[in-house]
Chain A
Amino acid sequence: MAGRDEINSIVAVDFGSVNTRIVLVDLVDGAYRLVARTMTRTTADDPLRDVAVGLFRGLDQLAAQTGRKLLAPTRDRVLMPENPDGSGVDALLATASVGRPLRVVVVGLMPDVSVASAQRVLTGSYVEVMDTLSLADIRTEQQQINAILTQKPDLILIVGGTDAGAEEPILDLVRVVRSAVQIAGSAPMVLYAGNRVVQARVRELLEEYCTLFVAENVRPALLDERLGAAQLELAAVYDAFRVTNRGGFDEVSQISRVGVLPTAQSYTNVVRYLGDRVAENSRRGEAPGVLAVDVGSATTLVAASIRRRPYINIRKDLGLGHSAEGLLKATTPGNIRRWLTWDATDAEIENYAYNKTLRPATVPQSEHELELEYALAREAIRVVIDGARTTWRLGRQGGLPALRPIIGAGAVLASAPHSGQAALILLDAIQPEGVTDLWLDPAGLIAALGAVAYLRPEAVVQMLEAGDLVSIGSAICPAGRVRIGRGGMRVRIKLPDGQEEKRFVTAGTVWTYPLPPGQSAQVDIRLSRGLTLDGKSRLKLTLFGGTAGLIFDLRGRPLPLLRQAEARAKLYPRWLAGTRGTLRQRVDEKEEALDVAEFARAEMITSSEAVPAPPPVQEEAAEAAEAGAAPARKARRGLFGRRGAPQAAEEPAEAAPQAEEPEAPTPDAEAAPTPRQRGLFGRRARAEAESTAEEAPGTPSEVDEMMDALRASQEEKPRRFLRR
């Protein structure tokens, strides 16, 4: 089998609750590229209960697409490594979100210190915290043991104590755990990530009675939090959990170089990486955040990098299939109804959601059902974002920080009839303010990349740079409340070839200019009173197109939604047509304003008026970043570097109106790259970076840290985590 340095071709498979997504990555002209992708049904449930069956079906499909043989003639084994004739692959990597979450009991010393760190360790995985034991726990030892046994955890995570701290308190807790695992009929796994000095004693106490994982202390000192090693070990626990539970993961784990990683961890890795890159490429001021949203059948996940700190919020009770029932509990029929163009009854909405829970793989067949599906998707994203606000250190109200890009994933977004429709769902649910780039991940590439990062970090860079995610386009979303039909935005779009388009976008509407992927345009914007873009009323921007184009969202924030179904039935299709670029062309602003004026009198329910649902059953959301001070970053010359020329020529809001006269194309526009050349950040930025990059202070990439930790663990236990 090929060694680590001989990995050219990789199959990455992600087992979702409904779909199994498989991508084939290979070296093309010296760089890793997405060669082919496919999707099959996950076969974890009855009647097959074996995910490997779905994997092999998918590999058959990939082979049919590419003409490359991937399975042995017996069709029950993946050909590895790659053969000289081009058949087979060098490595297979597996991630999964299917199946029930890991049930965890957290045991630690101080609730606000080690226990809080333990919660952060757990956020990147599919876990359900059943109980927490700490020094603040007033229960007797007997009650604590009963609590552990009653919850039937799959894992007990023990943390606590600094490396120079007292040993007995943590050992006392370990003894409680030992009593519990000795009594338990089926002993849970234990992950110890506490005081390093007592690791040997912990092994003595526990190893005989349970499967024990040991990681470095999450709090080696009071103000030093290190989560990376524990998160890695948690990935190994997740692998062991998947293998010991039914579903055929044992076979997949054997052939996967990284075992079976939680998909959420891939999101954390990729978003953390993107956040670092965006920050490096930011010209000045605060770098925008990065957001990835994955709406699945069983889980909705939001991964974000805000102020260069990665966060992940996973709601295992929210989804469009298995967890549609949970979604209904987390929101209300009324909240769902406000996104519909007809007056659905509570019963219609509830029956739809519960039937999706019963048959999660089915798809809407009528227009009404599709609207309901998209309404559920909007609410799933909204609920998770609302929950994420506190972990992002934002208030319950107010706008979100600048997010650029926003990446949508999950079948509901990837299979939308038009990418503009996917864009509208994202804009409605997230309500970003300012300028953002919208991307789609139809192939499940993020799940794959996060796993590939462990073997070939450079592949992540190369594939994102190559544009293997789909760009929907740029969205321009002014902040401020609007009255529909009153005021708006004057837009002038200038293409590199001199073509020009002028448009007045009326408040309360959406308009899309069809700028193809990879093309750039100079955009001059003037906003009416009360609306601002990045705090300004006049801007010049260089923007890039996408499958939808440049989306001008003049609906204001918070989004004005209509209470009356008849009004919604008239206005919402206009919004959809606006994002799909099918709204009839119109330049006369008076005519446009008259057209939508009827809605100005309609009764509004701003989106911030969402009826609160009962508190979430389970939400694990916390900052995934390590909190300790970090050493200076190494410069990344030759990869992305810093973004070169300014993207936007900004003017303060109070500036005098700008004369509308044609301008010569800027060098930026002239140098606009071709679609395939431009990646997530653009070759342009890279080319400029090569000439202007300089040493920049910053924090170390946690991906790098994870890589280092992984390699270290690889040396220690190559058979357990990285299989060869």
Chain B
Amino acid sequence: MTDFYPDQTVILPMTTIRRERLLPLDVPGDVLVREGDRVSAVDVVARGVRSSRYVILDLQRALGEDDPERLVNLLQVTMGELVQEGQVIAGQRGRRRGTAVRAPVKGRVSHLVEGRLILQTGLSEVNVKAACNGYVASVRARRGVLLETSGALVQGVWGNGQSQFGTLRLEPRQGLRSLEVDEFTTDWQGAIVLTSQPLTEAILKHVARQGLGGVIGPSMYVGLREFALGLKIPIMLTEGFGSEPMSSLVYGVLEPLAGRQAALNAPTPVRGEADRPEVIVQLQADASTSVPARNEPLRIGSEVRITRQPYLGVVGKVRNLPQMPQVIDNGLRLPVAEVILPSGRTATVPLANLELFGRG
């Protein structure tokens, strides 16, 4: 059998992490840090201004100017300048009133195109945060930065579009619902809580009220998606939708890190977009720390995570890679691997249902 390259979801206790933090293409802005700078997760590394609407002012007609080229000389503002409603933006100085053109709304002077002045209005600031502690490895002018850090990295499969930086905490022994406002302490305020149990509607409502910083859970019923998307704190699922418990691999990486600062970024997966939900806990690198292995084929002895039922989330070791496709229980004839499960049993699993988790 030729090499098979499985999917990869990085779940590593120590690795080198590189992440781009960029302004959207349509948002002009500036980079606020320099190469080599150390940044914390909450630092803004790039800032831009997004416009939701453009106002077009026909200066040529308003000023009665035949030659649009000469309009530049009549501008009383500069490109990029923020102007207030009613502010004179063009006109012949010293002439009588009426020849001046005033800004109809507050906005930013954007372009002068063929006698027409474009004002960007409906402005909103776009701040790009570092979203993890690290240093600036490189700068892309007017777009953003490439950050580098080291530590634990756990990627999930779904997020609700929020991000937060806070202390990683394990859920109380009695479960998240046992947290009550009365007994709420600063220990929990803004904490990113790890729970190995599926999230329920009651849990989500509860944590939203409690002021937690975020939740890392294994799964939840898909019907809670809309509710979770409406929450202001990040929710990351590590296994998927349903009622699956957390993979021992994921829990095993995060549990020892309780009490440390964690950056939880939980973008909602969008087709064609690279961003995945993930939690990063910065740790001091050692000499052996390296970036996650990628472009690795499956080998006998590879540690794998199974991504479909009946072994969803189970971590095993590849015992054999049969040369020919095999018929599995449901009748499909597929390329498979024989995987030794933690119980010692060997399971036949389609290659498509295996993923590597970043170890080389």
Q: Report Cα–Cα, A370/B330, bound state, in Å.
A: 7
Q: Report Cα–Cα, A184/B271, bound state, in Å.
A: 24
A304: min CB distance to chain B, Å = 26
Let me know if A183 and B110 touch, CB within 8 A.
yes
Chain B residues lying within 8 Å of A100, measured Cβ to Cβ, are 271-272
Chain B's closest residue to A18 (CB) is: B352
Chain B residues lying within 8 Å of A462, measured Cβ to Cβ, are none
Q: Which of B37-81 contact A (CB under 8 A)?
A: 52-56
B153: min CB distance to chain A, Å = 12
A605 beta carbon closer than 8 Å to chain B = no
Contact with A359, one of B240, B294, B295, B310 (Cβ below 8 angstroms):
B240
Chain B's closest residue to A298 (CB) is: B271
Chain B residues lying within 8 Å of A657, measured Cβ to Cβ, are none
Contact with A146, one of B26, B54, B309 (Cβ below 8 angstroms):
B54
B242 beta carbon closer than 8 Å to chain A = yes
Contact with A363, one of B3, B27, B352 (Cβ below 8 angstroms):
B352
Say which one of B125-133, B161-169, B188-196, B331-339 lies at the interface with A: B331-339
Let me know if A182 and B113 touch, CB within 8 A.
yes
Chain B residues lying within 8 Å of A182, measured Cβ to Cβ, are 111, 113
Q: Which of B120-168 contact A (CB under 8 A)?
A: 157-158
**Most B-side CB within 10 Å, residue of A184, A363, A367:** A363
Say which one of B204-212, B218-226, B249-257 lies at the interface with A: B218-226
Let me know if B5 and A57 touch, CB within 8 A.
yes
Say which one of A44-52, A444-452, A637-645, A715-723 lies at the interface with B: A44-52
Contact with A142, one of B27, B56, B329 (Cβ below 8 angstroms):
B56
Let me know if B242 and A355 touch, CB within 8 A.
yes
Chain B residues lying within 8 Å of A79, measured Cβ to Cβ, are none
B87: min CB distance to chain A, Å = 20
B214 beta carbon closer than 8 Å to chain A = no
Let me know if B329 and A366 touch, CB within 8 A.
yes
A64 beta carbon closer than 8 Å to chain B = yes
Let me know if B222 and A365 touch, CB within 8 A.
no
Q: Report Cα–Cα, A415/B331, bound state, in Å.
A: 10
A52: min CB distance to chain B, Å = 12
Let me know if A46 and B307 touch, CB within 8 A.
no
A544 beta carbon closer than 8 Å to chain B = no
Chain A residues lying within 8 Å of B280, measured Cβ to Cβ, are none
Chain A residues lying within 8 Å of B309, measured Cβ to Cβ, are 365-366, 369
A650: min CB distance to chain B, Å = 39
**Most B-side CB within 10 Å, residue of A45, A61, A183:** A183
Q: Report Cα–Cα, A322/B272, bound state, in Å.
A: 10
B284 beta carbon closer than 8 Å to chain A = no
Q: Which of B227-254 contact A (CB under 8 A)?
A: 240-242
Let me know if A61 and B2 touch, CB within 8 A.
yes
B10: min CB distance to chain A, Å = 8
B36 beta carbon closer than 8 Å to chain A = no
Let me know if A149 and B111 touch, CB within 8 A.
no
Known: A41-B5, A53-B295. Is A365-B349 also a contact (CB below 8 A)? yes
Q: Which of B313-330 contact A (CB under 8 A)?
A: 327-330
Known: A363-B332, A364-B332. Is A351-B308 also a contact (CB below 8 A)? no
Let me know if A365 and B7 touch, CB within 8 A.
no
A685: min CB distance to chain B, Å = 34
Q: Report Cα–Cα, A60/B1, bound state, in Å.
A: 12
A668 beta carbon closer than 8 Å to chain B = no
B86 beta carbon closer than 8 Å to chain A = no
Chain B residues lying within 8 Å of A145, measured Cβ to Cβ, are 54, 56
Chain B's closest residue to A347 (CB) is: B221
Let me know if A365 and B25 touch, CB within 8 A.
no
Q: Report Cα–Cα, A60/B332, bound state, in Å.
A: 25
Let me know if B222 and A370 touch, CB within 8 A.
no
Q: Which of B247-304 contact A (CB under 8 A)?
A: 269, 271-272, 274, 276, 292, 294-295
Chain B's closest residue to A54 (CB) is: B5
B102 beta carbon closer than 8 Å to chain A = no
Q: Report Cα–Cα, A415/B333, bound state, in Å.
A: 7
Chain A's closest residue to B56 (CB) is: A142
**Most B-side CB within 10 Å, residue of A46, A64, A100, A152:** A46
Q: Report Cα–Cα, A46/B221, bound state, in Å.
A: 26
Contact with B55, one of A142, A323, A359 (Cβ below 8 angstroms):
A142
Known: A146-B54, A179-B116, A182-B111. Is A64-B223 also a contact (CB below 8 A)? no
What 1/0 flags go to A331-351 for Cβ under 8 Å of B?
000000000000000010011
Chain A residues lying within 8 Å of B55, measured Cβ to Cβ, are 142
Known: A99-B272, A182-B111, A365-B308. Is A351-B332 also a contact (CB below 8 A)? no
Contact with A367, one of B52, B56, B330 (Cβ below 8 angstroms):
B330
A186 beta carbon closer than 8 Å to chain B = yes
Chain B's closest residue to A328 (CB) is: B222
Q: Report Cα–Cα, A60/B334, bound state, in Å.
A: 20
B151: min CB distance to chain A, Å = 18
Contact with A354, one of B7, B225, B271, B350 (Cβ below 8 angstroms):
B225
A283: min CB distance to chain B, Å = 40
B346 beta carbon closer than 8 Å to chain A = no
Chain B residues lying within 8 Å of A350, measured Cβ to Cβ, are 222-223, 241
Q: Report Cα–Cα, A366/B328, bound state, in Å.
A: 9
B8 beta carbon closer than 8 Å to chain A = yes
Chain A's closest residue to B325 (CB) is: A415
Known: A359-B240, A365-B308. Is A45-B274 also a contact (CB below 8 A)? yes
Q: Report Cα–Cα, A186/B24, bound state, in Å.
A: 11
Chain B residues lying within 8 Å of A41, measured Cβ to Cβ, are 5, 7
Let me know if A363 and B334 touch, CB within 8 A.
yes
**Most B-side CB within 10 Å, residue of A350, A359, A369, A415:** A359
B28 beta carbon closer than 8 Å to chain A = yes
Contact with A358, one of B157, B332, B334 (Cβ below 8 angstroms):
B157
Chain B residues lying within 8 Å of A73, measured Cβ to Cβ, are none
Chain A residues lying within 8 Å of B327, measured Cβ to Cβ, are 417
Let me know if A185 and B330 touch, CB within 8 A.
no
Let me know if A47 and B2 touch, CB within 8 A.
no
B118 beta carbon closer than 8 Å to chain A = yes
Chain B residues lying within 8 Å of A369, measured Cβ to Cβ, are 308-309, 330
Q: Report Cα–Cα, A246/B273, bound state, in Å.
A: 10
Known: A186-B26, A355-B242. Is A417-B331 also a contact (CB below 8 A)? yes
B197 beta carbon closer than 8 Å to chain A = no
A90: min CB distance to chain B, Å = 24
Chain A's closest residue to B297 (CB) is: A57
Let me know if B25 and A186 touch, CB within 8 A.
yes
Chain B's closest residue to A58 (CB) is: B2
Q: Report Cα–Cα, A367/B52, bound state, in Å.
A: 51
Chain A residues lying within 8 Å of B295, measured Cβ to Cβ, are 47-48, 53
Known: A183-B110, A350-B222, A363-B350. Is A149-B7 also a contact (CB below 8 A)? no
Chain A's closest residue to B270 (CB) is: A100
Let me know if A362 and B330 touch, CB within 8 A.
no
What 1/0 flags go to A353-378 for Cβ under 8 Å of B?
01101110111111101100000000
Q: Mind listing 25 A-B residue pairs with CB under 8 Å?
A: A43-B5, A46-B8, A60-B2, A60-B3, A142-B54, A142-B56, A152-B26, A179-B56, A182-B111, A185-B26, A185-B28, A246-B274, A298-B271, A350-B223, A350-B241, A351-B240, A362-B308, A365-B309, A366-B329, A367-B329, A367-B331, A370-B330, A415-B333, A417-B331, A417-B332
Known: A57-B2, A370-B331. 19 other contacts (CB 8 A): A40-B5, A57-B3, A145-B56, A146-B53, A150-B52, A183-B110, A351-B242, A355-B240, A358-B269, A362-B308, A362-B353, A365-B310, A365-B329, A366-B310, A367-B331, A369-B308, A369-B330, A370-B332, A415-B334
The 6 A-B residue pairs with the shortest CB-CB distance, nearest first, are A417-B331, A100-B272, A47-B294, A370-B330, A351-B242, A61-B2
Q: B-contacting residues of A (Cβ < 8 Å)?
A: 40-41, 43, 45-49, 53, 57, 60-61, 64, 99-100, 141-142, 145-146, 149-150, 152, 179, 182-186, 246, 298, 322-323, 347, 350-351, 354-355, 357-359, 361-367, 369-370, 415-418
Q: A-contacting residues of B (Cβ < 8 Å)?
A: 2-3, 5, 7-8, 25-28, 52-56, 110-111, 113-114, 116, 118, 157-158, 221-223, 225, 240-242, 269, 271-272, 274, 276, 292, 294-295, 307-310, 327-334, 349-350, 352-353
